Amino acid sequence: MVFTHQLPLVPVPAAAVVHEGRMPITATTRVHGSSPAADVLTAAAARRGAPPLTSVDASAHTPAPGDIVLRIDADAAASEGYHLSVGTHVEIIGADEAGLFYGVQTLLQLLREGDEGWSLPYVEIDDAPRFTHRGVMLDVARHFFDVAEVKRFIDATSALKFNRLHLHLTDDQGWRVHIDSWPLLTERSSATSAGGDPGGFYTKDDYREIVAHATSRHMVLIPEIDLPGHTHAVGVAYPELVEAPVLNDALVAQSETLGQPLPVAGETYLGWGVGHSSVRIREERTYDFVRDVVRELAEMTPGPYLHIGGDESLGTSQEDFDHFAARATQIVVDAGKIPVAWHEMGAAGGIAEGTIGQYWGMKVPTGSHAAEAAHFVERGGALIMSAADATYLDMKYDEEFPLGLTWAAVIDVRTAYDWEPTAVLDVPDAAILGTEAPLWSETTRTIDDVELLVFPRAAAEAEIAWSPQHGEGREWSSFRERLGTLAPLWKAEGTRFHPVADIPWSDR
């Protein structure tokens, strides 16, 4: 007997029964079903070097031994869930298209080449996610990543059953999406990245292409326009919208240590420092700008969310911040979207009802962070948990790792795995929508750099978000063994990962 937690699966499924033996996958194996998941399966199997799989019309063919059947049954599982069985043939029954897609991802992890060829274990799996929100974030503002690179990021993370992509589209260093009504944003504020590296921006067609690809992988795209701080790039394009930089001792000291320039009004900012910028909160023109940007983004974004930022407004008075938070969140609501904001916006009493907070404080909250986060719940909203000392994928694996930062923590794979989203704040468990693992891009100049920081730690965050908290195999000793089995899949997909020494990496 093989135990469930010994299956080479990440995230570990909710329930599984494993039987002795394996079903061969051969050149005669056919895939029955018209779902887009069938194309995902056949293409991924081909990249692995498995025997070519032929797709056939399920209504015209009876499954033969060794075939794979894909179908939808809303009663098969909870939303996004699936049932997978391997016997004389394979059957994956998704509760919906997302469930079918995730069942295919599980099948691809089970598919292995041994001494006798390609095969699957005889198994029955019933699986569905713990949290509805299983997110990753990519910062394309500090360093820009083009459409093909973002699609590559979507493919690699959706394979781990992540279902939200938060794109951090604007920051002090650059504005990365075209807005028709404010064209100078991309004309003047997109050409560079942090450190003076090349920049870039998404046309509206580019953005729609990213949205479409995310949708095809069952990821909801959440665009972020960071306001009222992190807006130096806005001032390069439209100086009348932004206050003069407010310098603080920490910013000056950091800039000196890193050898980076301080922000200068009207000039492109190439450093990393934060907290020095703000839009002009008492100017009505500012809200014309926010309204236009939100409207155009909302028109291109089919998902229900729009992230309005709200973090690190260090040079803004609390009174001004509260005024802006109330107006900006209501603008998002008026555009037909649910506002999302970093937890600092919870300090504002008048945020729109139902605004979702994203907590990025520590696993043990400090200062007012816990109270700020709890206020979103009091206002009828909910929380996304991104505890910085556990989930921030831009932190170093160890002090010597060449990429990443350390201000939140040094986060090895076990640290990324050993935390519980519902144990951080004193709010009802039902108020936790799920988790998000952000990748900030100060040190990541290429998508390869991004992937080295994201993988394998994203797999830890994926299991926390998907798998039952107390399910079989949901512990470090099992996870590290299962994590090592992902290496052949990542290599076949061309996904770079950091082969940390304490994981037993497999070559088959």
Give DSSP secondary structure letters for 2-26: --GGGSS-SSPPSEEEEEEEEEE--
Contact present, 44 and 107 (Cβ < 8 Å): no
C-alpha 107/C-alpha 86 separation (Å) is 9
Burial label, 467 (beta-carbon count in 10 A; 0-12, 13-18, 19+)? buried
Contact present, 49 and 108 (Cβ < 8 Å): no
Contact present, 330 and 351 (Cβ < 8 Å): no
Catalytic residue, chosen from 312, 475, 481, 493, is 312
Cβ atoms within 10 Å of 89's Cβ, excluding its own: 17
CA atoms within 13 A on the CB side of 223: 26
- Alpha carbon distances (Å) from 446 to 142, 150, 285, 442: 12, 11, 37, 11
Q: Mapping DSSP to helix (H, G, I), strand (E, B) and coil, where does residue 300 land?
A: helix
For 305, residues 6+ apart whose C-beta sits below 8 A from its C-beta are 220, 222, 337, 338, 339, 340, 356
Tokens of 303: 């998902």
Burial label, 306 (beta-carbon count in 10 A; 0-12, 13-18, 19+)? buried
Tokens of 420: 């519980």
Active site (annotated) includes residue 353: no
Select from 293, 235, 303 the least CA-distant residue to 269. 235
Select from 184, 186, 45, 24 the least CA-distant residue to 89. 24
Residue type for position 48: R
Angle between helices 147-158 and 204-216 (to 10 degrees): 20
**Mode of pairing for the β-strands spanning 112-114 and 82-86:** unpaired
Contact present, 441 and 142 (Cβ < 8 Å): yes
Q: Mapping DSSP to helix (H, G, I), strand (E, B) and coil, where does residue 68 land?
A: strand
Residues labelled as active-site residues? 312
